[in-house]
A and B are shown apart, each in its own frame.
Chain A
């Protein structure tokens, strides 16, 4: 390369050339860029596929978390009034007339429930206000202010008007506020949600704490097994490895079902303990549909993800180091702590990070065995998607979870390298 650089300056005239007379440097650059293009061309179809079927949908989700046109699309006139007036303007007769007209139109289009739901997210108890007003909106006579107030005094509530102003724009960061247990007060300032309604922060904390606990349990269980596998002769360890890989290949639902069967109050574990006299017939332990169930089942399911990286780091460790430490007078504990353990740290890091990342987003197992106290943040996202139908809030929660996972993923890639990931 150095020699080529020296001649590179006059390569065009008298430097090194290829057989067909092209300057060598130029020919090499062409060949190299062609090779780069070829490599890229091979990857491009898959990249395009992943972008369309994965990246774009995630983008849609992020868009949903800040966009909800439930109010603005169905109440065009009052939304226009909000756009034209300054925040804090007292609603005048024109505003009430626009509101009444919109309500009548929305009732006609059967979308007044959607409107009420959207306002209800920000101010609870208002959905019925909208549906009730929608039913009578067609019969309202001017002056509309008096007519609406006669229907329900809440229509004059400044807080309601503040909320309606904030939802009259389809774009809103309020779902993120809600996902962080924050809310806006009547003046639009950000305040903490009332004491009894701060559930999401607690759930995020519980998810992190349970994931950390499960990661710790996996590490404690995986370390001795990985060490055994790494120090046995290859033929034997390959045989034992099957015991690790079989759970890995078995359906997640099957493993979860097995734990449901084992841990039930009338299940195998409790029956065995009763038969052994460890517990009385009335002392059966409740291990299912609570946090214990989630922890046990998830530890079992994620254990192979800890054993495999540990094993691949432990296998090449030279046993001579520990022997040398012993011969120099270290006790077996010191030799382990000062010589062996530090060499396995990369495996511990890789396994722990992987298990933690997977645990944070777990859904199926907590949903089936978790009961109420074993639910994680994923379960709440599913609840808002399927039951409460507050999709924007679900999207905001998902976006926060995604941000956390991506940070961990980035960390994993930086520390371990994603291309080092191995399966079996």
Chain B
């Protein structure tokens, strides 16, 4: 991208304009996500920077919205903060409750999606796989079909088979979220497998390893980074999903996105920004994990230039 020495003045001007445009687009991409972080520490119930915040006066900042998050739904939020207060938090705080639900649903949906998805990706990346294209198209389709259509279909299907009465909590949501996460697992794992050297498994077989040993000792360690990033994608998909939950979840099956959705629709308060900030931190952590895994995978496969 370096400017050649023979560039004309017009080209120089364009070069710098181009860089400025790119910088502006990066700001457009990232600023809306970062802006909620300082705003969530606002001492006032506004969605904009107050004078005190701009002059970096500590009084302009507070943790009151985080406190509100913790105490929302509690029986005695104003009681002294001793052991029984924390007991109250554990039992009654709405956001703690929905976060727990989200985690449980996300965990089981991820396990289902990753297990089935990895198995299928192993089959799909074999050269002798019949009807590869149409099957792949079906497996990826949950990502492409508008979520509202999926949610509507599931609503009809689940009310037909009465899944709520089966007695397994969250079953409908877990199955739906697993379905939505599967395309991500398939895409990441097949991408990892496409760089996998087949002669390694042949070498293992020639040295006397059975298919099971070959898989666990040779294939799995090499594709693990891809599997884990697929799993993280699946988890994020479930953790962020709201439409299906709105359509099929029972009254007591609240998740973080559903609670957020309600909060935004009814009366948006800066407490929502506190949730948003926490979620941004979570996504930064996940992105960092995936990035580290990707580099590790490249190093393992000898792709990176060290």
Are A257 and B273 closer than 8 Å at their CB atoms?
yes
Q: Residue-by-residue, is B147-176 near A (CB-CB < 8 Å gives 1, otherwise 0)?
A: 111101111111010000000000000011
Q: Do A46 and B22 contact each other (CB < 8 Å), given the known contacts A54-B179, A405-B145? A: no
Q: Which of B120, B156, B158, B240 has the most CB of A within 10 A?
A: B156
Is B63 positioned at the interface, with any CB of A under 8 Å from its CB? Answer: no
Contact residues in A for B160 (Cβ distance below 8 Å): 60
Is B205 positioned at the interface, with any CB of A under 8 Å from its CB? Answer: no
Residue among A35, A266, A332, A423 making CB contact with B126, cutoff 8 Å? A35
Are A254 and B279 closer than 8 Å at their CB atoms?
yes
Is B66 positioned at the interface, with any CB of A under 8 Å from its CB? Answer: no
Are B146 and A394 closer than 8 Å at their CB atoms?
no
Contact residues in B for A60 (Cβ distance below 8 Å): 153, 156-157, 160
Are B150 and A246 closer than 8 Å at their CB atoms?
no
Are A378 and B123 closer than 8 Å at their CB atoms?
no
Is B100 positioned at the interface, with any CB of A under 8 Å from its CB? Answer: no
Residue among A40, A51, A251 making CB contact with B257, cutoff 8 Å? A251
Is B96 positioned at the interface, with any CB of A under 8 Å from its CB? Answer: no
With A and B bound together, what is the CA distance between A422 and B30 in angstroms?
A: 21
Q: Which of B122, B139, B290 has the most CB of A within 10 A?
A: B139
Q: Residue-by-residue, is B3-38 near A (CB-CB < 8 Å gives 1, otherwise 0)?
A: 000000001001000110110011011101101100
Nearest-CB residue, chain B, relative to A384: B152
Interface residues of A in 245-259 (CB under 8 A from B): 245-247, 249-259
Contact residues in B for A360 (Cβ distance below 8 Å): 146
| B-binding segment of A134-142, A171-179, A220-228 | A220-228
Total CB contacts across the A-B interface at under 8 A: 270
For the complex, count residues of B whose C-beta is within 8 A of A: 93
Is A421 positioned at the interface, with any CB of B under 8 Å from its CB? Answer: yes
Nearest-CB residue, chain A, relative to B247: A385
Are B264 and A257 closer than 8 Å at their CB atoms?
yes
Q: Do A361 and B257 contact each other (CB < 8 Å), given the known contacts A32-B128, A249-B283? A: no
> Taking chain B's interface residues, is the majority helix, strand, or loop, or is none over half, making it mixed?
helix
Are A47 and B144 closer than 8 Å at their CB atoms?
no
| B-binding segment of A91-99, A152-160, A395-403 | A395-403
Nearest-CB residue, chain A, relative to B130: A36
Residue among A61, A221, A246 making CB contact with B152, cutoff 8 Å? A61
Are B283 and A251 closer than 8 Å at their CB atoms?
yes
Interface residues of A in 331-364 (CB under 8 A from B): 332, 357, 360-364
Interface residues of A in 397-424 (CB under 8 A from B): 398, 401-402, 405-406, 409, 413, 418-419, 421-424
Contact residues in A for B110 (Cβ distance below 8 Å): none
Q: Do A258 and B182 contact each other (CB < 8 Å), given the known contacts A250-B283, A268-B48? A: no
With A and B bound together, what is the CA distance between A363 and B28 in angstroms?
A: 22
Residue among A61, A242, A266, A405 making CB contact with B153, cutoff 8 Å? A61
Is B98 positioned at the interface, with any CB of A under 8 Å from its CB? Answer: no
Contact residues in A for B22 (Cβ distance below 8 Å): 224-225, 228
| A-binding segment of B74-82, B87-95, B186-194, B196-204 | B186-194
Interface residues of B in 102-146 (CB under 8 A from A): 112, 116-117, 119-120, 122-124, 126, 128-130, 133, 135-142, 144-146
Is B86 positioned at the interface, with any CB of A under 8 Å from its CB? Answer: no
Q: Do A50 and B18 contact each other (CB < 8 Å), given the known contacts A243-B29, A361-B145, A361-B149? A: no
Is A73 positioned at the interface, with any CB of B under 8 Å from its CB? Answer: no
With A and B bound together, what is the CA distance between A381 and B35 in angstroms?
A: 33
Are A47 and B148 closer than 8 Å at their CB atoms?
no
Nearest-CB residue, chain A, relative to B138: A50
Is B300 positioned at the interface, with any CB of A under 8 Å from its CB? Answer: no
Q: Which 4 A-B pairs have the closest CB atoms?
A: A361-B146, A42-B123, A57-B153, A57-B157
In the complex, besides A261-B39, A268-B39, 7 extra interface pairs with C-beta distance below 8 angstroms are A39-B124, A50-B179, A53-B175, A332-B14, A382-B243, A385-B155, A423-B188
Sample (28) of A-B pairs whose CB atoms are under 8 Å apart: A36-B128, A43-B120, A46-B116, A47-B138, A54-B141, A54-B142, A57-B153, A58-B150, A61-B152, A247-B29, A250-B283, A251-B239, A253-B240, A253-B264, A253-B279, A254-B276, A258-B35, A258-B36, A264-B48, A266-B48, A268-B35, A332-B14, A363-B148, A378-B148, A382-B148, A398-B153, A405-B144, A405-B145
